[in-house]
Structure 1
Amino acid sequence: MRPEAVVALLAEPTRLRVFSAVVLGASTLPAAAEAAGVSAKETAVALRRLQGGGLVVESEGLLAARTGHFKDIVRDTRTTEEPERHGYADEEVESLLRTFVRDGRLVRLPSQWGRRRIVLQHLTHRTFSTDTTYDERSVNEELKVWCEGAGTDHVTVRRYLVDLCLLGREAGRYWLRTDIQPAL
């Protein structure tokens, strides 16, 4: 089943509610109608569409949800999707960054310092320019974008960047350090 077909089936609120009721155990039309909070007629219409789309089956008078489609869709999407590339020739670095950086966001920081340094160095070189100095507010704004949804806050990341000598800091001004050899 194609992802678009599943989304189309579940995009209508009544069908979504009826499907949810079946997933949660409603095995008859009256039970599904009651659990979904919709009329029996609306439930019957929704069930016909869900059965036609293969998300609900009826066997011996009992309804059951077919949720295996979701796993298949995820599996198919993963195998056809090209892994995110970050622009490094070293496959170990690419693999590390795919683990901790997704869609331009920091997922979380590695616990090992060597790995953490590589991830933070990637973040630093993608965010800051060598010929610019930044005030603390600008650094925070840039890092907030990376840390949105991560388990680490931007202030912690900023401290790590200074501690690992990736950013220099003096008198409230920050700059990308170029005097340190990159690990990447």
Structure 2
Amino acid sequence: MTPETFTVLLSDSALRRVFSAVALGASTSAEILATTGLTAPEAAPAIGRLLREGLVIPQGPGRLAVDETALGSAAEAAGRRQQEQAEAEQPDPGLRGYVRGTVLVRLPEDDDETRRTVLDHVARTTFEADREYDERTVTDLLRPWCEGTSVDPVSLRRFLVDDGCLHRRSGAYRLVSPVGPGRSS
């Protein structure tokens, strides 16, 4: 079962209610009806569809159970697709989970090296070497990186300076050139 099939199935109210009842332990038709509040004519097609699709399986005469294997397979497929999508959106594994395209998803909090890598990427992608920028221009250029995140462009500008990616002097900002494995401002 694909994640899409699972989602489509559970978008139907009757299917979702029957599946939930079975997942919570209702295993007979009477228990499913009592738990869901559905009538037999409403529940019967939902039960049949869930059986055909493999989300629930017979568990002895007149008893049903959730097919944990089918759910596990759908979850694994969804995880693989998420990973593939993340790789497509950010080919650099060091930036994955932090940068998506030209948006800063989040900043690493506990890993200084990764934080510097992410900030260095933002700086090198945004600013040209050997060019000075005024404060307003820097903030405006950083604004797209902050769309939909909890980091604002002014804070990002400060982080870039504090972490040595940008040099600030008399209101002018300049991209810091790398010096070997570390950096000096």
- Answer yes or no: is 1:63 the counterpart of 2:67: no
Return 94-103 or 17-26, whichever deviates more: 94-103
Alpha-carbon deviations, 1:99-128, whole Å to 9, x = none? 5445644244152322210011123334x3
- Corresponding position of 2:88: 84
Give 3-state SS (helix, strand or coil) of 2:93's partner: helix
Distance in 2, Cα, partners of 1:12 & 1:121: 47
TM-score, with structure 1 as normaliser: 0.70
Q: Distance in 1 between matches of 2:104 and 2:38?
A: 41
Alignment of 1:19-98 (within 5 A): 19-60=19-60, 61-76=62-77, 78=80, 81=84, 83-84=87-88, 86=90, 94-98=92-96
Q: Which moved more, 1:103-112 or 1:57-66?
A: 103-112
Q: Which secondary structure does the structure 1 equivalent of 2:65 belong to?
A: strand
Quote how far apart the aligned CAs of 1:137 are. 6.0
**Counterpart secondary structure, 1:57:** strand
Counting matched residue pairs gives: 171
Please tell me whether the aligned partners of residues 22 and 66 of structure 2 are also in contact (alpha carbons under 8 angstroms): yes
Tell me the distance in 1 between the aligned counterparts of 2:167 and 2:121. 16
- Report if aligned partners of 1:22, 1:64 keep a CA contact under 8 Å in 2: yes
- Which AA in structure 2 matches 1:121? D
Separation in 1 of the partners of 2:54 and 2:48? 10
- Residue 133 of structure 1: how far off its partner (Å): 4.7
Please state whether the residue corresponding to 2:54 is helix, strand or coil: coil
Unpaired runs of 5+ residues, structure 1, are 88-93
Query: Residue 117 of structure 1 corresponds to which residue in structure 2?
Result: 116
Q: Is the 8 A contact 1:121 1:166 kept in 2?
A: yes
Matched residues in 1 for 2:172 and 2:33: separation?
61
Aligned to 2:151: 153
Select the structure of larger CA radius of gyration: 2
Q: 2:143: which partner in 1?
A: 141
CA RMSD of aligned residues (A): 3.4
Residue in structure 1 matched with residue 175 of structure 2 by the alignment: 178
| Residues 123 and 175, structure 2, Cα contact 8 Å, conserved in 1 | no
Residues 59, 85 of structure 1: alpha-carbon distance in 2 compared, 3 angstrom cutoff: closer
- Percent identical pairs in the alignment equals 29
Q: Secondary structure of the residue that 1:95 maps to in structure 2?
A: coil
Aligned equivalents of 1:59, 1:174: Cα separation in 2: 72
Q: List gaps (5 residues or longer) in structure 2.
A: none
TM superposition shift of 1:52? 0.7
User: Relative to 1, partners in 2 of residues 1:15 and 1:153: Cα closer, same or farther, differing over 3 Å?
Assistant: same
User: Quick check: 1:5 aligned with 2:17?
Assistant: no
Which residue matches 1:164?
163
